[in-house]
Amino acid sequence: MRIRDLAFADMDDAQRAVAEEAIAGKRGRVPAPLRAWLHSPELGRRAQKLGEFVRYDTSLPPALSELAILVTARHWTSHVEWYAHKRDALAAGIDPAVISAIAERCAPDFTDGTAKLVHDYTKVLLATGRVPDDLHAAAAGILGERGVVDLVGIAGYYSLVALTLNAFDIGLPDGETPELMS
């Protein structure tokens, strides 16, 4: 890890308050990127609150949210993000073949048109920084405006997570090996 991993005893009051807030929240723990963000407590406080929202409280059902997170993790080749959310994606009912295709940077064979739309929207947005009018209109027609805003928020937040994990070389838990190839 490229940044000091703070133990509670080493945290100042602001850092400790952020860590305690995360532990008391829906996650029940200090999430991996917060280990870096604690070095900037206000960033950490705001980012972990946003993360709690985009993870648990958007208008998208868990399967669509986790799909967008996996597409984002794969885009950035974020091993820790992939590791954490692959389990959640499987638990949300995403077909293992879809997950494997995303990992291999192949086009998944979707049986659900909404899932394909979420995949395509997220992938195009991350690849180009924009979304064509027809794809955006299709997404708004299915997900609604709130759903599209939530989807963009998920992709944006999990890009921040992926970049944090990658920049500070926050690794997988002991004994785990990366699943994603470059």
Does 158 have pLDDT greater than 90? yes
Q: What percent of the chain has pLDDT over 70?
A: 100
Give the per-residue pLDDT at 56: 95
> And the tokens for 86?
């692959």
Summarize pLDDT for 64-81 with one digit per residue, the tens. 999 999 999 999 999 999
Q: How many residues does the chain have?
A: 182
pLDDT band at 182 (very low <50, low <70, confident <90, very high): confident
Residue range 62-167 in CATH 3.40.50.300: no
Alpha carbon of 81 to those of 11, 71, 131, 162: distances in Å? 25, 10, 24, 6
Give the per-residue pLDDT at 128: 98
| pTM, rounded to two decimals | 0.96
* Interaxial angle between packed helices 96-103 and 79-91, expressed in degrees from 0 to 180 and rounded to the nearest 10: 160
Rg of the chain over all Cα atoms, to the nearest angstrom: 17
Summarize pLDDT for 94-153 with one digit per residue, the tens. 999 999 999 999 999 999 999 999 999 999 999 999 999 999 999 999 999 999 999 999
Closest listed residue to residue 147, CA positions, set 54, 76, 85: 54
CA 153 to chain centre: 10
Contact 174, 79 (CB under 8 A): no
Does 39 have pLDDT greater than 90? yes
Query: Domains of the chain: which residue ranges?
Result: 8-56, 62-167
